[in-house]
Amino acid sequence: MLHSLLVSLVILAAVVSLVQADPPKVVLAIHGGTAGPRSELSPELEKLVRADMQRALEAGHVVLNKPDGTALDAVEAAVRVLENSPHFNAGKGSVFTHEGQIEMDASIMDGSNLKAGAVASVTVIKNPITAARAVMDKTRHVLLIGRGAEVFAAKAGLETVDPAYFWTERRWNQIKKIWEREAKERAEAKQARADSAADEPWGTVGAVARDARGNLAAATSTGGRTNKMYGRVGDSPIVGAGTYAENGVCAVSGTGEGEFFIRYAVGHDIATLMKYKGLSLDAATTEVIIGKLQPAGGEGGVVSIDAEGNFAAPYNTPGLYRGYITADGKSKVMLYED
């Protein structure tokens, strides 16, 4: 009797430990950019950020639960929610360039056929991620930029807005603070730093998803880097850098110092470490974000899932706004090491 009780306890303990060790099978993951020091995030703003991230996860989950819901449609739906929020550096909440303009970039990739679409430096398209999708679906091109991308989007029936739509007080105060510091530095005859550190110099939103047929997709959208030079394009519209998806391998969306993500081809490097070297998603993303970018001085992180629904989101910054949702709707939103 005691013996059989002990055996039962051992089996129970084994089952519990198995359940605890078993990672969630994720169908959709998102990010809302890297985070600055925790002390700079007020409890009020944190609540708003978490609520919009939860809405984005649910928007993608609704798509995936439809009989014909695809990973591609899910990442687009999730990113649109984040673009429409003023709390992330994409769409509505985009940061200002050095010239006080809004220039947004976005890309989307379908892992089932390696098709992709992207737009860069667009100023009047309400949802750049949908413009990227339209480039993929309706042209033979992958990347359209500037006015050409806007003319195409308008012809394709996408919603355009007055650039004033993208004005937010928080972003305006950020660029004003930089301008004031630069003016002061010039007055003091110091060299004005073109890329002075803002309290939140970059930020991006993105989503990765896996649908019932095992298709993977990734999408990324951004307002770019605060105080960036006129015409600067980062990694978000660059397939292989900020966005990558390949069925059977992984889907990745990155955020951080875009120049490093381009030079290190971050999304594609993670995929090839898995394909050619046999690394797990966790090992591959850690190798690139912690093993390569961090020693090179490239700040940032990624959200990613693999073909089995494993989730990995390493970052070398104080935090990364990230979240995931499983097939049965269990979701988790994390901002720092929580």
Here the tokens at position 64 are: 């995936």
Q: What is the closest distance, in whole angstroms, from the C-beta atom of residue 170 to a second copy in the complex?
A: 24
Catalytic residue among 70, 97, 123, 204: 204
Instruction: Give the 3-state DSSP-derived string for 165-219, with helices as H, strands as E and coil as C.
Output: HHCCHHHHHHHHHHHHHHHHHHHCCCCCCCCCCCCCCCCCEEEEEECCCCCEEEE
- Of the pair 115, 181, the CB lying nearest a second copy is at 115
- Indicate the residue type of 298: G
- Of the pair 231, 329, the CB lying nearest a second copy is at 231
- Of the pair 89, 331, the CB lying nearest a second copy is at 89
d(C-alpha 65, C-alpha 326), whole Å? 11
Q: What is the closest distance, in whole angstroms, from the C-beta atom of residue 123 to a second copy in the complex?
A: 11
d(C-alpha 125, C-alpha 182), whole Å? 30
Contact 128, 236 (CB under 8 A): no
- Of the pair 172, 230, the CB lying nearest a second copy is at 230
- Of the pair 86, 291, the CB lying nearest a second copy is at 291
Q: Which residues bind a second copy (CB under 8 A)?
A: 109, 114-116, 120-121, 139-149, 151-152, 194-195, 228-234, 238-241, 244, 258-259, 262-265, 268-269, 272-273, 276-277, 296
d(C-alpha 107, C-alpha 219), whole Å? 6
222 is catalytic: no
Q: What is the DSSP pairing of strand 311-312 with strand 300-306?
A: antiparallel
Q: What is the closest distance, in whole angstroms, from the C-beta atom of residue 31 to a second copy in the complex?
A: 21
Instruction: Give the 3-state DSSP-derived string for 12-65, with helices as H, strands as E and coil as C.
Output: HHHHHHHHHHCCCCEEEEEEEEEECCHHHCCHHHHHHHHHHHHHHHHHHHHHHH
Contact 334, 34 (CB under 8 A): no
Q: What is the CA radius of gyration of the chain?
A: 21
- Of the pair 106, 143, the CB lying nearest a second copy is at 143
Catalytic residues: 204
